[in-house]
Chains A and B, each alone.
Chain A
């Protein structure tokens, strides 16, 4: 039977060519065949679901329940952790009349941006009452101040940014000074994260002195008496105007998680 076989060969060749054409078309225009796929799926999916659904419906239900419970456990554990952190924060901040708004750090400024301060983003904003120039603290001490506020988020300029200089008191006598990230020229190099304390008066500074914030008028941008760091070494006297020392801040800005924005409710309530 030569004729049917010939017809078969021709059919095979044509279909093969059509298939190759379809492949090329699908490669050139992905998604062109989506209506076709959708139509096939409409026909075959019921069959597939019947075929794959032969097992006990109870297993599916129990699996669903188990997954929901596991998610609930994760949520509660997170809540517990947050609660513990909040308790610590409340205990640690015994430095004045204040109200704390807990906030979570949700974003860091990328270290690769060409010009960038050290900023982080918090998940509270003007809808929560946050305004610019409010102090931000964590369990350990001063974090920074709010520089930008959006409706649901706010950006915090961290202590350690080159532009940040904080007025401080240090030592048992409460000597005045300022702490900044950029040391005045001529001082020994600082390690990563270390700050420079410049003494304003003649107060002697010693290793181990606690450094706390001095406070600003109206408590903006920094409220008073927030722990900031510890003096780790005193620079040699080389004729600079004020004595200088190295301060190791209490807060490691690289591992910030739960922080709080400080509200000072003076005169109100």
Chain B
């Protein structure tokens, strides 16, 4: 009945999503795992949950080494993405392809923000790197997103979230 187990599971998933890229072989483009967790929660539960999970994931990305500057900016960006994905919830059930497309769009939005900020002179980024990161996220989400959605569905079924 309580929402606590659901929050704990999502927190665990977020921590794993933030820490797992360390095990990624060096040189390969890094997939964004946090956006997948945010997308699964938002697509199942709506904008408010999407915002909260996005905030939490962004804070983790901001704080866990190497972290990001300024503190909280990543959290705000992921919160925005969580809200947008939550608004897309009603269309997500139409086709199993739609969550994947929505996640791809969300990832593109995040990377696009990063690219625009870098183009404005704050920070530095290689466009090819962004593109490859996006492709890697899309590829990983093919497998990971259905699993995460399944977890979310189980949480709903057990009224844990």
Contact = CB atoms under 8 A, between A and B. Distances in A.
Most-contacted residue by chain A among B3, B18, B20, B71 (CB, 10 A):
B71
Interface in B48-87: 48-49, 51-52, 55, 58-59, 63-65, 67, 69-73, 75-76, 79
A138 to B, nearest CB: 42
B80 to A, nearest CB: 10
B87 to A, nearest CB: 14
B71 to A, nearest CB: 4
Contacts of A235: none
Nearest to B26: A52
A20 B70 CA distance: 11
Given A15-B55, A16-B51, A16-B55, A33 B71 contact: yes
Contacts of B22: 47-49, 51-52
Contact of B70 (A26, A36, A54): A26
Contact of B69 (A11, A20, A21, A30): A30
Nearest to A23: B72
Given A12-B48, A19-B55, A23-B76, A48 B19 contact: yes
Contacts of B49: 8
Contacts of B55: 12, 15-16, 19
B84 to A, nearest CB: 14
Contact of A23 (B51, B65, B67, B73): B73
Contacts of B51: 12, 16
A16 B51 CA distance: 8
Nearest to A32: B71
A44 B58 CA distance: 16
A71 interface: no
B90 to A, nearest CB: 17
Given A48-B19, A52-B22, A37 B70 contact: no
Contacts of A21: 72
Contacts of B20: 51
Given A19-B79, A44-B65, A54 B71 contact: no
Interface string A20-31: 111101110010
A9 interface: yes
B143 interface: no
Contact of B65 (A22, A26, A45): A45
Contact of A16 (B18, B70, B79): B79
B63 A4 contact: no
B23 interface: yes
A4 to B, nearest CB: 7
A5 B47 CA distance: 12
B72 A51 contact: no
A247 B65 CA distance: 64
A20 B23 contact: no
Given A4-B3, A16-B55, A23-B71, A37 B63 contact: yes
Contacts of A115: none
Nearest to A18: B72
Q: Give the most central of A5, A22, A36: most B CB within 10 Å.
A: A22
A15 B63 contact: no
Contacts of A40: 63-65, 67
Contacts of A26: 69-72
Given A9-B48, A51-B20, A54-B23, A30 B75 contact: no
Given A16-B79, A37-B63, A47-B19, 9 more contacts: A5-B48, A19-B55, A20-B72, A22-B71, A23-B72, A23-B73, A33-B71, A48-B22, A48-B64
7 contacts: A8-B49, A19-B55, A23-B73, A26-B70, A26-B71, A40-B64, A45-B65
The 7 closest A-B pairs by CB, nearest first: A23-B72, A26-B71, A51-B22, A26-B70, A22-B72, A51-B23, A48-B22
